[in-house]
Amino acid sequence: MRLRVPPGAPAALKVLAAAAAAPAPVRPHLGGPAERPQTLAPELELRLELDSGTVLFSPNAICQYFYLCRGEEPTDLTTQWLEWEATELQPAVAAALYLRLVQGRAGPEALGLLQPLLAHLEQHLARSGTSHLAGDAASVADVVVWGSLFPVLQDQTSLPGELQVLRSWFGAVSALEPCRAAAALLPEALRELRAHLAQHPPHLPGPPREPQQDEESPERALTDDDIAAAVEIWARGPAALPPPREPRTPVLPVEGERNVLITSALPYVNNVPHLGNIIGCVLSADTFARYSRLRGWNTLFVCGTDEYGTATETRALQEGLSPRQLCDRYHALHADIYAWFGISFDHFGRTTTPQQTSIAQDIFQRLLARGFLLQDTLEQLRCERCGRYLADRFVEGTCPSCGYGEARGDQCDRCGKLINAVELQNPQCKLCRGTPVVTPTQHLFLDLPKLEGRLEAWLERTWAAGEWTANARHITRTWLRDGLKPRCITRDLTWGTPVPLDGFRDKVFYVWFDAPIGYLSITANYTEHWERWWKNPQQVELYNFMAKDNVPFHSVVFPCSLLGADDNYTLVNHLIATEYLNYEDGKFSKSRGVGVFGDMAKDTGIPADVWRFYLLYLRPEGQDSAFCWADLMLKNNSELLNNLGNFINRAGMFVCKFFGGTVPAMALTAEDQRLLARVTLEMRQYHQLMERVRLRDALRCVLGISRHGNQYIQVNEPWKRIKGDERDRQRAGTVTGVAVNLAAALAALLQPFVPGVSAAIQAQLCIPPERCGLGPGLTCTLPAGHRVGTVSPLFQKLEPEQVEALRQRFGGGQAKEPPPASAPPPAPNTPAAPGDPKVIQELTEQVAQQGNLVRQLKAAQAEKAQVDAQVAKLLELKRQLALAEGRSPEVPKGKRKK
């Protein structure tokens, strides 16, 4: 596509900044006045010519198109901001620039025209509690609004000192690389713009208006109907809450009810999950599962460890274990981590079961019988030193698309492109660092082109009715746009589900064909009636949770397998994918000791619910986000301690201190009724967001309700009124009663996010189990006369020294594990300095030879002591090789000294 941007175009800055976000190549053409097309009006001179021949003229539409290209679909809020910028901000900015550039009038006078609009921006940013206009990540709304303001302001110091939040936002957006690059063109652009404004003087803007709000948005003005509805819900008391659901084991679909099946992407068994893995899959799924149960929906939540494949075989060899022994160890480790984080699986299983073999082979046979499998020759990389074909993830090389030097054999982590391992440039075996050779072998392929029509028809129906995240839709569209190709479903391995077909019985199913079937087999291990969930699309809604790299296998490959098998399988209705969570300024790395992994979180002394809260608060929904220790401390101390904890503790303490632990009588005033209405609108918004699986925004609704409560207490000052006359004491009682009921509502709203905190609030306030449900608004669940228990603080302050110590601890260079107990001392000729090519070559050959020896001994079923001795030698050689290559040797956990 080609972007024509005359330097004097009023919208040049925002369009150029947005263009930097486009994944497709953009050819900007910065034309001067002489090159301007004579047939177009001045406002249409800026244009985007798409490769299809379509031309876009609207600057905001062009900006939005660039963000759509990278998978960020517009939200209601970004659309409102774009409309506000076009109708309110643009005319005011044009008038301000006209005063300054054409008439030469002072900056303050020109800036005065923008004052109401700047105040509106300040109020929105302060009120929303987010760092950007439509969330915590920069969106098209931020770039568009920034691009209009920058020619007038140029830096945040031009803003009045009282607009501190706006100054912070403006500085943050100005620092973004695309915005910095666009701003470099400003001097020339202002010269051209001056001539443009002189020829086309703007009209002064009318009074500004705020962006329109959603119908249920808590920010809109209250109506009499809002207040009346809220008072009616309050008066209904516990009757307004859904009745508690009777627990059933096993959970099975019930006709006439909403049956919700939730899966979380299966974590690979030999990787300890880090915080990004946890929020991307199991924690997001758990939050929605808890909400679903609170709503009274019939809910089943299953997950488990993905255990087959070369990675398991290789890790088992390194640790001197059988693959089964390794899987047993790591399955237990995963289960412990998720239990500590409070993940409420109905069943946490594994893929190495007889049910997995039976179900996977049945789907395979059905695909074979219906003509959806092909046989073809596949060129694979084989390492002659290791004597084995290399799985995709055990090859590294240079990405053929972007040139990244550490791309894996299945996907490039930098550009995200899927790769055939033989396409890698300069491939290396990750096991011995040798150069593998391309070898042809016979394999079976899923005929995706033959299934493409069925897939597209199904996607059209599903997208019309289901909640798919923008990145899930974009990634799926990209696969379809490029055209589907046959996908290999077999591998030359031994640890996996065997292929039940003559000529291929020495092979197993490839993980991306086999692993998603684990959802079915794990359910089959939970209940023999598993088909009532997985062959019942008429009654079951299926939610899949995952990170974005798993999307194509859940939106294309797995659905094609089930569509081709043609056995009335339940297919995904709602595919919820996150972006990536990074760590501080980089990525999580177990080998480099960078980042917090699941088995380390409990050792920090920070409660599990604080981890849950912060991970959900910065959940990477629209784009990548980053864990930051300083921000964790800030959010804990401000949002949890000072906002949420402060309100709930004060509400409960007032009941205990002023009213002997008994909820007082309440006589609602108009002010109280407005609070009920405002909180009820927030709760409706919460429900809307949760049902759309916008978990991060829903959590902000909860914090907003708590802020309403704090403000309500602060304005009414019950600690003063209790000392006054009878009227004041009655008012203190009403405020305290309403506040403690608001605290009870918060206990329910918080349960999906921080279940331990929710349980603590329920215990302190003595809320009966039948009153812990989620109602449609603020309900009087604790009537006058209800007795509360002992109230105590819910959260502890995080101190800077504590957080800095943790940042240092997890920032890299953590204490290395001790050498294996059976390993001999380092050899005398261990190289003192890394980098000697001759030494590296010798050690590489010795590692390969020793590895072959170990495999031979195991194949011959040699005595364990003999095998252990040779494994120890292998590990020592690998340690020496790592040192020679300048790497930190990573010692397997299974060999630690006790």
Q: What is the predicted pLDDT for the residue at 27?
A: 65
Task: Give the span between the Cα atoms of 28 and 591, in whole angstroms.
Answer: 43
Tens digits of residue pLDDT in 717-763: 999 999 999 999 999 999 999 999 999 999 999 999 999 999 999 99
- pLDDT of 753-774, one tens digit each? 999 999 999 999 999 999 999 9
3-state DSSP of 173-187: HHCCHHHHHHHCCHH
How sure is the predictor about 460, in pLDDT bands with cuts at 50, 70 and 90?
A: very high
**How confident is the model over 368-395, as a mean pLDDT?**
86
Confidence of residue 79 (pLDDT cuts 50, 70, 90): confident
Residue 364's SS3 state is helix
Neighbours of 3 (CB within 10 A): 21
DSSP notation for 467-507: ---HHHHHHHHHHHHH----EE-EES-SSSPBP-STT-TT-
Instruction: Give the per-residue pLDDT at 36.
Output: 36
For residue 645, give the DSSP letter: I
Determine the residue type at 526: Y
| pLDDT level of residue 831 (50, 70, 90 thresholds) | very low
Angstrom CA distances, 476 to 447, 510, 546, 548, stand at 17, 21, 14, 11
Model confidence band, residue 211 (pLDDT cutoffs 50, 70, 90) = very low
Distance CA 248, CA 299 (A): 11
Q: Return the axis-axis angle of helices 310-319 and 837-859, rounded to nearest 10°.
A: 90
**Is 743 in contact with 709 (CB distance < 8 Å)?**
yes
**pLDDT by residue (tens digit) across 502-513?**
999 999 999 889
Rounded CA gap, 182 and 193, in Å?
A: 15
Q: Are residues 273 and 340 in contact, defined by beta-carbon separation less than 8 angstroms?
A: no
Quote the DSSP letter at residue 466: S
- Asked if the model's pLDDT at residue 892 lies above 70, the reply is no
pLDDT, position 817:
38
Phi/psi-derived region of residue 443, left when phi > 0, alpha when psi is between -120 and 50, beta in every other case: beta
User: Kind of pairing, strands 298-305 and 388-389?
Assistant: unpaired
Q: Does residue 205 carry a pLDDT above 70?
A: no
Asked if pLDDT for residue 125 goes beyond 90, the answer is: no
Distances from the Cα of 138 to the Cα of 24, 115, 134, 141, 170, angstroms: 20, 23, 8, 8, 11
Q: What is the pLDDT of residue 106?
A: 56
Q: How far apart are CA 192 and CA 194, in angstroms?
A: 5
- Alpha helix ranges (H) inside 200-281: 224-236, 275-280
The pLDDT of residue 258 is above 80: yes
* Average pLDDT of the segment spanning 799-807: 91
Cα gap 204→219, rounded to integer Å = 28
What is the C-alpha separation between 595 and 581, in angstroms, rounded?
Answer: 11
In the chain the first and final C-alpha atoms are separated, in Å, by 62
Span 292-349, pLDDT tens digits: 999 999 999 999 999 998 788 878 887 889 999 999 999 999 999 999 999 999 999 9
User: 250 Cβ partners below 8 Å, 6+ apart?
Assistant: 346, 526, 527, 529
Q: Return all residues near 854 (Cβ < 8 A) that are at least 6 apart.
A: 317, 867, 870, 871, 874
pLDDT of residue 295: 93
**Res 894 pLDDT > 60:** no
Name the strand (E) or helix (H) holding 86. Answer: none
842 C-beta neighbours (distance < 10 Å), count: 16
- Strands 437-446, 373-383: pairing is antiparallel
The amino acid occupying position 124 is H
Across 458-473, average pLDDT: 92
Q: Buried (b) or exposed (e) across 453-480, using 16+ Cβ within 10 A?
A: eebeebbeebeeeeebbbbbbbbbeebe
Return the biggest CA–CA distance within the chain: 94
For residue 821, pLDDT over 50 is answered with no
Please tell me the least confidently modeled range out of 180-184, 251-255, 634-638: 180-184
Q: Which amino acid is at 86?
A: A
What percent of the chain has pLDDT above 90?
A: 51
Distance CA 67, CA 62 (A): 9
What is the C-alpha to C-alpha distance for residues 755 and 283, in angstroms, rounded to an integer?
12
Task: Give the H/E segment covering residue 508.
Answer: strand 508-509
Asked whether the predicted pLDDT for residue 777 surpasses 90, the reply is yes
Q: What is the mean pLDDT of residues 260-270?
A: 95
Q: What is the band of 31 on the pLDDT scale with cuts at 50, 70, 90?
A: low
pLDDT of residue 637: 94
Rounded mean pLDDT of 576-586?
A: 89
775, 602 in Cβ contact below 8 A?
Answer: no
Q: Which residues of 754-778 are buried (b: 16+ CB within 10 A; e: fewer)?
A: bbbbbbbbbebbebeeebbbbbbbb
The vertex-334 CA angle with 329 and 339, nearest 5°, equals 125
Tell me how far apart the alpha carbons of residues 647 and 185 are, in angstroms, rounded to a whole number: 50
Q: What is the DSSP string of 727-767?
A: HHHHHHHHHHHHHHHHHHHHHHHHTTT-HHHHHHHHHHTT-
Rounded Cα distance between 350 and 270, Å, is: 12
